[in-house]
Every structure is written in C-alpha cells, then in structure tokens.
C-alpha cells in the first residue's frame, strides 16, 4: 500500500495523518550548531492508532491451499499496521534536511497565479511538472526529475520542498535536500577528514530522490566539482530521481545580442545572462538533460517575498516620548 488512508475529518491534518512543522535545534556553539529544518509529526488524531490501538500489528485472515486434497484453509496472520509505515515516513522526512522555512511549502500552498496569462501559464507548468514527478514516483520505476530555473523568490525551493514532502510522506521514498554551497562545504569537510569523494556523498548517491538547490551558485574547488560530477554520474547510472533548482538560464546558447526588431530573445526577456551549462560544465549539464525535464519560470515572475511584503501594512514609526 502506498498512500496511507486516514479519516478526513481531522481539522489539524485534514486526513493526512501527519503535520509538517519547523524545528530548530541548538547545538554546540561552533557557529554551525543551530539547525533549522522541516520535520513531520504523526497527528494527534492518529495517536493511539485507530486501526490497531497502538500495537503496530493487525490480524488479517489469509486463505492458503497447501494441497488439493485438503483444499483451501483459512489462517489468521499478523501483519504490520499502516501506522508503522507512517511512523517510518515521518522519521525519514526529518532526515531529508528540508529548510525550516519551507515546512509549509506543499503543492496545495503553491499559488499558480501570476498577474498576466504568460506568468500564470509558466507557474502552472512548473507546478504540473513537479507534481507529476512526485505522483509518478515508484521505487521500482523512479520518475524522471526536473530542473527548474527562475529568479529570486519565484518559488523554486518551494517546489523542490513540496516534491520531497509528497514523495516521502505519501509515497514512502527516502530523500535528501542540499543547497549547493552546503554540499560543497560537506565535501570540503570530508576531504579535510581524509575521506574519499565516494564516501562523502554516499548518502546522497543512495537517496531515492535528491534535491539540489541553487545549482551553479559559487564555484567549487576542483575536488568539489569532481565530487559533484561523481554524484550526478552515479545517480544517472542508477536511474534515480534528481530534482534541481537554479537561478541560471537553461538556454543552451547565449541569445544573439543584436536581435531583429520586434523579436525579444528568450535570454533577454529572462534577464539572466549566465547559462547553467557554463557554471557547471558540459558533463554534468549533459547528464541533467537526460535525467530531467527543464522548466523555466519567466524572467518577470514576481519575487514572492517582496509581494508578501508589499501586501503588509506599512508600520508607522512611533517616537518614544521625550
Ligand atoms: N507560487 C507561489 N505560491 C505560494 N508561495 C510562494 C510561491 N512562490 C514563492 N512562494 C513563497 O515565497 C517565498 C520565496 O520562495 P522560494 O524560497 O521558493 O523562492 P526561490 O525561487 O527558491 O528564491 P531564491 O532564488 O532566492 O532561492 C517562500 O516563502 C515561498 O513559499
Ligand atoms: Mg531558493
Ligand atoms: Zn489529524
Ligand atoms: Zn496502527
């Protein structure tokens, strides 16, 4: 069973059986001790489990025919209850490392509505691609991934997080999220500790679904780039699902600088000069072309962070009484 059916009357989880929230962990004061991530919790409506009362197992009856002479016989067997599966998914979700800020990012909370038709169509397309990757994923038939390109605040990390949330909590996949600069930092730390590239990335190589955010940002050292190359190559060879977000353009070529009048070259329209392929190199780019569908949000897609701010009433500064 892939989806966990739960009563839909619960107002807290709306029948999902879990809630996703932000968790902040404060560790030793090394500057990197504070870790904020999205975690899932089994909803109160599922505790104790309404199916098994918290035992974790259910009796099911099975019919088995050992011989024609005796005929079919009915057996009572113990089977794990769905609540065990849910507990496992909830714990896998916490290990994915999704940023705390995106605890509320799901397909349901993504608004595919721009202030003109072109933007709305692009947002709908991006949401559609991410959603179908998430819904089509099966362990024995991993879905093709996607690379989403767009400007700051256009909803890229939201869609990566929503996809991981769905594949882990609804489909039972294992997943990892890494922002590229943190991935380079992990590689550097591993390298300084004398580990090989393969050892450092083993967790990311094996995840059913891997999300790499901000690909192309910053330049890795030769060892970091080699390790990234190895990571993508190994996932490519195993046919695992990889999803990526980037601020850089997915166009193969730079748009001509002297475009004929009346023609707006896509690259100029996007106002994104640098190409992803130039940032990450031909080898990685070419593998991504085979592993993923490419989606571009249009250059003028609003920065959602600013839009939210614009909607807020301006606070008046009140001078303290002298
Ligand atoms: N279409 C949308 N519907 C609902 N919320 C959105 C949408 N797009 C963005 N947001 C929200 O706006 C904020 C910024 O979005 P997000 O972090 O996904 O942007 P981004 O494209 O990853 O930006 P950056 O390039 O800076 O990383 C988040 O809180 C996100 O949930
Ligand atoms: Mg982002
Ligand atoms: Zn509930
Ligand atoms: Zn149960």
Name the residues around ion ligand 2, CB cutoff 5 A. 156-157
By most ligand atoms within 8 Å of CB, the mutation choice from 100, 126, 158 for ligand 1 is: 158
> Which phi and psi angles does 73 have, rounded to 5°?
-125, 145
Measured from the CB, is residue 304 less than 6 Å from ligand 1?
Answer: yes
User: pTM of the predicted model, to two decimals?
Assistant: 0.85
CATH architecture of 102-255+264-309: 3-Layer(aba) Sandwich (3.40)
Out of 23-37, 59-73, 190-204, which region has the weakest mean confidence (pLDDT)? 23-37
The domain locations on the chain are 18-86, 102-255+264-309
> Which phi and psi angles does 237 have, rounded to 5°?
-65, -35
> Which phi and psi angles does 76 have, rounded to 5°?
-95, 130
By most ligand atoms within 8 Å of CB, the mutation choice from 163, 304, 307 for ligand 1 is: 304
Q: Other C-beta atoms within 10 Å of 106: how many?
A: 17
Is the model's pLDDT at 101 over the cut of 60?
yes
Per residue in 157-169, pLDDT (tens digit) is: 999 999 999 999 9
Per residue in 199-238, pLDDT (tens digit) is: 999 999 999 999 999 999 998 899 999 999 999 999 999 9
Q: How far apart are CA 185 and CA 193, in angstroms?
A: 12
Share of the chain above pLDDT 70, in %: 81
Cβ pair 159, 305 in contact under 8 A: no
Segment holding 11, helix H or strand E: none
Q: How far is the CA of 46 from the centre of ligand 4 (A)?
A: 8
Mean pLDDT computed over 80-101: 96
Ligand nearest, relative to CA of residue 48? 4
| 18-26/34-42 β-pairing | antiparallel
Q: How far is the CA of 6 from the centre of ligand 3 (A)?
A: 8
Looking at residue 171, its pLDDT comes to 96
Residue minimizing CA distance to atom 25 of ligand 1: 152
Measured from the CB, is residue 150 less than 6 Å from ligand 1?
Answer: yes
Six token digits for residue 167: 């594949």
206 half-sphere exposure, CB direction, 13 A CA radius: 6
Q: How far is the CA of 72 from the centre of ligand 2 (A)?
A: 58
Q: How far is the CA of 193 from the centre of ligand 1 (A)?
A: 36
């Amino acid at each position: 069973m892939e989806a966990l059916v739960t009563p839909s009357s619960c107002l807290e989880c709306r029948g999902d059986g879990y809630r996703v929230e932000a968790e902040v962990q404060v560790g030793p004061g090394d500057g990197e001790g504070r870790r904020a991530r999205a975690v899932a919790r089994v909803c109160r409506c599922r505790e104790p489990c309404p199916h098994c009362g918290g035992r974790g197992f259910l009796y099911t009856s099975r019919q088995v025919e050992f011989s024609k002479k005796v005929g079919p016989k009915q057996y009572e067997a113990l089977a794990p209850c769905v609540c065990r599966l849910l507990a496992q998914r909830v714990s896998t979700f916490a290990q994915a490392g999704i940023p705390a800020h995106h605890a509320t990012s799901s397909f349901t909370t993504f608004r595919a509505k721009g202030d003109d038709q072109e933007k709305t169509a692009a947002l709908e397309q991006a949401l559609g691609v991410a959603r179908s990757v998430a819904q089509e994923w099966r362990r024995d038939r991993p879905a093709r991934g996607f690379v989403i390109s767009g400007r700051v605040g256009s909803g890229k990390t939201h869609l990566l997080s929503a996809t991981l949330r769905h594949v882990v909590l609804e489909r039972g996949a294992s997943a990892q999220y890494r922002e590229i600069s943190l991935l380079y930092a992990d590689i550097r730390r591993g390298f300084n500790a004398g580990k090989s590239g393969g050892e450092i990335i083993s967790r990311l190589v094996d995840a059913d679904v891997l999300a790499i955010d901000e690909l192309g940002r910053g330049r890795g050292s030769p060892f970091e780039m080699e390790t990234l190359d190895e990571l993508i190559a190994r996932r490519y060879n195993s046919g695992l699902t990889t999803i990526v977000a980037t601020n850089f353009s997915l166009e193969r070529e730079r748009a001509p600088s002297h475009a004929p009048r009346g023609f707006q070259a896509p690259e100029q329209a996007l106002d994104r000069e640098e190409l992803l392929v130039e940032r990450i190199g031909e080898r990685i780019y070419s593998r991504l072309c085979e592993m993923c569908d490419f989606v571009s949000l249009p250059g003028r897609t609003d920065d959602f962070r600013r839009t939210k701010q614009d909607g807020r009433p301006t606070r008046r500064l009140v001078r303290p009484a002298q």
